Structure 1
Amino acid sequence: MVYIREAIISDASGMGKVNVESWQTTYRGLMPETVLRNLSVKDKKEKWENIIRAGNSTTFVAVDEEETIVGYLNMFIKKSTVGEVTAIYLLENWQGKGIGKALLLKCFQRFLEQSIHTIRVEVLAGNDSRLFYERMGAELIEKKGIQIDGNVLDLLVYEWKDIRNVLA
């Protein structure tokens, strides 16, 4: 059983682990191998500590019965009327169990509490997560390039015009 709660500073280590492991499984073949090989749990832990401490975004974690973090989602308000999901990652063996959907719905509820109805998310073109967003009702609105380690990769921007339709 997994439950979702708002992240606290002490979650950063577990989030760093999920960050590195999920990138290494999700982006293999999509990103340069050197980028994936050089990921550091320590660096990601520090990054998430700083993000949580800054308080200008909200992060939810999915934890199992032993309080082990198996996934997370980060969200923030991009403009006064548009929210953005900046990160949603799950350990590979926890994918396909409805946890991503639960994280996303929790995020949507929080956005609604702040009167935000339009949400965007960016995903690499080769990432199968884009299919998840499509199944959840997001529509592709833009394709742009992103530079990672000297390589230009295709980035897709998806949008939910009105998340109230998803939550209905």
Structure 2
Amino acid sequence: MIRIRRARPADAAAIAAVHVASWRTTYPGILPDAYLAGLSPLRLAASYHRGMTDRRQAAATFVAVAPAGPGDDGPRIVGFSSGRRLESGPPGIALAQSEIETLYVLDDWRDQGIGRRLMRAAAAHLAAVGSRSVMLWVLSANPSRWFYQRLGGRFAAAGTVAVGGRAVPQVALLWSPIEHLLQATARADGA
């Protein structure tokens, strides 16, 4: 059974490994090949570690932990999400009080409800710290963009982000009020 819990600084290396693996399988043809090949788990781990120890803007990271399988040393992190309060909404998204910054799940663990549970953990945390709305940026060509739309994310803005020296189109999706995302990620069976 997959367990969702708040990430600890000791999880940083495993979170970085999920990040790298997810980007390399999701973004070929969308992001520059050289950029994907050069992703550094070590640098990303340091960045995630800093993020988990710096609690400004009510930042929080959540992990999906799978039980140990054959050949595993112990339970392993198979996905994660993170979110934070915004000091002010991005241009064109003044309603957004918080942002879900990341959501990544390893390919072999997709389509099992893990992404939905990680989104719920981040949204519940943000609601608990007083956020009434939440947004996220998703690359326009991201094949998983439908997931956020199915959860009720409404188009709020379009823009670009520089990745590997290339301007990549992205869109912002908004849930206002945040309860719309909490309802969309709730399961009837309470899981």
Deviation at 1:42, TM superposition (A): 1.2
TM-score by length of 2: 0.84
Amino acid at match of 1:147: A
Aligned to 1:128: 143
Gaps of at least 5 residues in structure 2 are 69-74, 89-95, 184-191
Equivalent residue of 1:93, what SS? helix
Structure 1 unaligned blocks of 5 or more: none
Q: 1:150 to 1:166 in 2, by over 3 A?
A: closer
- Alignment partner of 1:79: what SS? coil
Provide the C-alpha distance between the structure 2 equivalents of 1:118 and 1:100, rounded to a whole number of angstroms: 19
| Superposition deviation, residue 151 in structure 1 | 1.2
Counterparts of 1:11-90 in structure 2, within 5 Å, are 11-56=11-56, 57-66=59-68, 67-79=75-87, 82-90=97-105
Aligned to 1:2: 2
Deviates most, 31-40 or 60-69: 60-69
* SS of equivalent to 1:50: helix
SS at match of 2:86: strand
The Cα shift of 1:79 comes to 2.8
Deviation at 1:166, TM superposition (A): 3.5
Superposed, 1:107-146 pairs within 5 Å as 107-146=122-161
> Distance in 1 between the 2:155 and 2:180 partners?
17
Counterpart CA distance in 1 for 2:42 and 2:165 is 24
Extract structure 1 runs of 4+ deviating beyond 6 A.
none
Matched, 1:104 2:119: yes
Q: What is the rounded CA distance, in whole Å, between the counterparts of 1:73 and 1:166 in structure 2?
A: 14
More displaced, 48-57 or 118-127? Answer: 48-57
The Cα offsets for residues 89-140 of structure 1, whole Å up to 9 and x where unpaired, read as 0111111110000011111211221221210000100002211110000001
What TM-score comes out, normalization by structure 1 length?
A: 0.95
For residues 79 and 39 of structure 2, what CA distance do their matches in structure 1 show? 17
Q: Which residue of 1 aligns with 2:71?
A: none
One-letter amino acid of the counterpart of residue 67, structure 2: E
Between the two proteins, the alignment pairs up a number of residues equal to 168
CA drift of 1:164 comes to: 1.3
Give SS of 1:121's match: strand
Cα offset for 1:141?
1.0
Could you tell me how far apart the structure 2 residues matched to 1:166 and 1:74 are? 15
